[in-house]
């Protein structure tokens, strides 16, 4: 006779006993023995009421939970959202109790294996197929497989498939549960909903509520529990508040964030009281916040994190934090060994590196080929040849100026004719050092894998300074808001409090120090103009050139390579109609150097756009400056020759570090202020003495 064990929670609802009897009757008719374990719902209600009473968002939720109904009274949308979230959490706990337990093996084991991975993007070159093979080699251990988010984007394939190519991979890996990553929202909630429906495992979102629906953002589960071998394991999915700023398709004003420590403590305690032997937090947060969670949340036993593209394990307050690398390069094998009669496991963690020693899984390779063939034909097209290596590593590009960031921003500056550029370093996605030599479409797509529309804004000096403060506020975390820039320079003190780190006296646009009341033309991404990544100060800036009239970032880079080919005579049809290779700020500096004096008009030379958005006119006065020398023809010839030299330099594709971003200490600050003092004094023209006789 088959034996099925079911655990139910008795609720004070009409006819619930009748429903349970019917379930038992149905199973008995199949000659199966049904065993019920009964837990009162009162304890669940008390836990939820306690959570509500102690929440940062106060209301009479305790009454709602203790009552016979979950109807929401006429309250604000935020209150409705949290009540809905509490309702979902309660229902999730009931679901855990109602479902049939999965029995793995005939006898409970004293060893549980967990495989963990996070932040996977590129399925090509056999990486995903090898990863599937490596996972399958642990199949005899019946591992619990957990994922900490970021799969659907960004990558060159995702740009074409909206993440569809990742679904068969996640399913083939055998994933049992996941938490949403920020990039899983890149194509919007509708696409995310489709992808989630195509996967065969639950997704978690435990501390962000969609105000519109009152449920967890992305319709994720608040909690999930699974009986694995002899243990019941509770799972929650937590994210940090900074995470919300990165969601291009989500309105941050329409979601409610619950502090991850508060949510972790309450939900962890709830799962333990419901019978879970172990509570695991799947997180998509930076390491410092995972550490805070470990320090303040004893209800959680293990933290399996994502968002940081590193392999790192650390034990904080007897709790392991595990970051399992990125991009199918590695995963973690976590072994829990229980002594007989003990609920406290011995935990060991091993990094598994996935390399060529693992053969690609044939079935996975066949499934992915249909996606790879979409773009494979163009990926090896050579766009140009760099003479130096390009540093695109996250650890570099998210904490410092890099030559890759300088080059991309210079391309934007030349393409948009703006005064300066701020680009969030999260735009540049390759996370590798690119070797000198041929630079292919594959390289470009690995750096800029998604469509990134650009825009030119008119900003005040004050707005520009605020943007820079936001850019470095999270330093030294590997945050995508850290800037790469062009046409400007600045310095900051990392030891100062966020919001006061930028040394305002040392911020320059072109050759001039920034004045708060002055206006500047800033080229940036629409993503930042909309206030994402914390750049809320740009939302109200006047749009000079909208995204319909600005080149998309990837296109601007391709046009830059085409312009180089035109200048070198490597195109079939020679023409002067090409994207500029030299930024206007560099042209301005060149003119100043040759003229030996300041130009009239704005600095640097800039193009302004009429209210109709179609007329473009030069507003600089280069000819006036040339006439002051008395030899316009000679000056023009010198400029033309020097401009050719600058363009020839650009054609060499050898970007370098130029001290655009300086990390300050007291010594460096004193040196830079002294240099500024000398620069300013050199610009002062002494007045002629009134007693001086004319010659």
Q: With contact defined as beta carbons under 8 Å apart, do 346 and 329 qualify?
A: no
The token duo for 528 is 């930042």
What CATH number does residue 452 fall under?
3.90.780.10
In a domain, 371, yes or no: no
Q: With contact defined as beta carbons under 8 Å apart, do 310 and 174 qualify?
A: no
The two beta strands, 616-618 and 607-609, are antiparallel
In a domain, 349, yes or no: no
In a domain, 129, yes or no: no
pTM of the model: 0.64
Q: What is the pLDDT of residue 643?
A: 53
In a domain, 284, yes or no: no
Please tell me the distance from the alpha carbon of residue 625 to that of residue 636, in angstroms, as a whole number. Answer: 11
229 alpha-carbon distance from chain centroid:
36
Mean pLDDT, contiguous 10-residue spans, the chain (695 residues): 39 36 37 36 40 36 32 46 61 52 46 97 92 94 97 85 95 98 90 96 98 94 96 98 77 91 98 97 97 98 96 97 98 95 92 96 94 79 94 96 97 92 96 96 90 93 98 96 97 97 97 95 96 95 87 85 77 48 48 42 34 31 34 44 58 88 96 91 63 46
Find the domain containing 408 and state its range: 380-597+643-677
For residue 102, give Cα distances in angstroms to 25, 197, 469, 689: 22, 22, 52, 97
Tell me the longest C-alpha to C-alpha distance in the chain.
Answer: 122
In a domain, 261, yes or no: no
The token duo for 144 is 């619990």
Q: What is the pLDDT of residue 88?
A: 67
Q: What are the DSSP calls for 96-128, one per residue?
A: HHHSBPPP-SSS--SEEEEEEE------TTTHH
Residue finishing a domain among 101, 133, 149: 101
Residue finishing a domain among 79, 101, 123: 101
In a domain, 484, yes or no: yes
Q: What is the pLDDT of residue 156?
A: 77
Residue finishing a domain among 66, 101, 136: 101
Count of domains in the chain?
A: 2
Q: Where are the alpha helices (DSSP H) in 162-259?
A: 166-173, 189-198, 241-244
Q: What is the pLDDT of residue 672?
A: 95
Question: What number of other Cβ atoms are within 10 A of residue 407's Cβ?
Answer: 21
Strand partners, 386: 437
Please tell me the distance from the alpha carbon of residue 211 to that of residue 351, in angstroms, as a whole number. Answer: 40
In a domain, 289, yes or no: no
In a domain, 481, yes or no: yes
Backbone angles phi, psi at 596, to 5 degrees: 75, 10
Q: What is the pLDDT of residue 530?
A: 94
Q: In 211-307, which ranges are E strands?
A: 215-216, 223-228, 231-239, 255-257, 278-284, 302-306
């Amino acid at each position: 006779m088959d034996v099925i064990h079911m655990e139910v929670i008795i609720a004070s609802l009409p006819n619930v006993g009748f429903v349970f009897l019917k379930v038992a009757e149905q199973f008995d008719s199949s000659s199966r023995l049904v065993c019920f374990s009964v837990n009162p719902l009162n304890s669940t209600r008390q836990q939820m009421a306690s959570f509500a009473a102690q929440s940062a968002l106060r209301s009479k939720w305790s009454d709602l939970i203790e009552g016979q109904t979950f109807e929401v009274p006429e309250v604000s949308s935020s209150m409705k959202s949290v009540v809905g979230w509490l309702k979902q959490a309660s229902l999730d706990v009931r679901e855990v109790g109602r479902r049939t337990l999965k029995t793995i093996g005939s006898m409970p084991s004293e060893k549980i294996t967990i495989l963990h991975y996070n932040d996977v993007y590129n399925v090509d070159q056999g990486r995903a197929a090898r990863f599937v093979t490596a996972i399958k080699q642990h199949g005899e251990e019946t591992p619990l497989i957990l994922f900490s988010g970021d799969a659907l984007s960004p990558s060159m394939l995702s740009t074409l498939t909206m993440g569809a190519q990742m679904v068969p991979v996640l399913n083939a890996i055998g994933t049992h549960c996941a938490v949403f990553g920020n990039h899983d929202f890149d194509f919007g909630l509708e696409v995310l909903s489709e992808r989630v429906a195509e996967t065969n495992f639950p997704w978690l979102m435990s501390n962000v509520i969609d105000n519109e629906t009152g449920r967890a953002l992305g319709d994720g589960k608040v909690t999930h529990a699974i009986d694995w071998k002899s243990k019941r394991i509770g799972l929650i999915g937590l994210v940090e508040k900074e995470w919300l700023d990165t969601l291009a398709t989500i309105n941050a004003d329409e979601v409610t964030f619950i502090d991850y420590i508060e949510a972790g403590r309450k939900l962890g305690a709830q799962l333990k009281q419901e019978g879970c032997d172990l509570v695991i937090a799947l997180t998509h947060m930076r390491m410092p916040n995972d550490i805070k969670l470990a320090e303040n949340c004893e209800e959680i036993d293990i933290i399996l994190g994502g968002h940081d593209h590193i392999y790192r394990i650390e034990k904080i307050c007897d709790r392991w934090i595990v970051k399992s690398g990125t991009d199918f390069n590695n995963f973690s094998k976590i072994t829990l060994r229980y002594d007989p009669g003990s609920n406290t496991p011995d935990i060991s963690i091993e990094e598994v590196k996935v390399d060529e020693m693992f053969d690609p899984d044939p079935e996975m390779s066949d499934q992915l080929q249909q996606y790879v063939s979409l773009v494979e034909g163009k990926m090896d097209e050579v766009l140009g040849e760099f003479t130096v290596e390009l540093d695109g590593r996250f650890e570099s590009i998210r904490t410092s100026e890099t030559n890759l960031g300088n080059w991309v921003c210079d391309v934007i500056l030349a393409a948009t004719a703006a005064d300066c550029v701020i680009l969030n370093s999260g735009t540049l996605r390759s996370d590798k050092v690119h070797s000198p030599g041929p630079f292919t479409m594959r390289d470009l797509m690995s750096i800029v894998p998604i469509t990134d529309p650009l825009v030119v804004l008119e900003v005040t000096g004050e707005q520009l300074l605020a943007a820079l403060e936001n850019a470095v506020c999270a330093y030294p975390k590997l945050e995508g808001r850290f800037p790469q820039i062009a046409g400007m320079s600045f310095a900051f003190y990392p030891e100062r409090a966020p919001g006061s780190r930028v040394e305002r006296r040392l911020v320059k646009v072109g050759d001039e120090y920034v004045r708060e009341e002055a206006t500047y033309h800033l080229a940036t991404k629409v993503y930042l103009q909309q206030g994402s990544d914390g750049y809320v100060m740009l939302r109200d800036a006047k749009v000079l050139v909208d995204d319909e009239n600005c080149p998309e970032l990837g296109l601007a880079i391709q046009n830059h390579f085409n312009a180089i080919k035109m200048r070198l005579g490597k195109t079939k049809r020679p023409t002067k109609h090409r994207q500029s290779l030299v930024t206007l700020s560099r042209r301005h500096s060149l003119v100043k150097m040759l003229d030996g004096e300041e130009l009239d008009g704005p600095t640097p030379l800039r193009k302004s756009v009429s209210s109709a958005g179609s007329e473009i006119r030069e507003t600089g006065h280069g000819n006036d400056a040339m006439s002051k020398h008395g030899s316009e023809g000679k000056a023009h010839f010198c400029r033309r020759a020097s401009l050719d030299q600058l363009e020839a330099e650009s054609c060499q594709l050898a970007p370098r570090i130029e001290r655009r971003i300086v990390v300050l200490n007291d010594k460096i600050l004193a040196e830079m202020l002294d240099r500024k003092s000398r620069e300013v004094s050199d610009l002062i023209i002494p007045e002629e003495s009134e007693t001086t006789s004319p010659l």
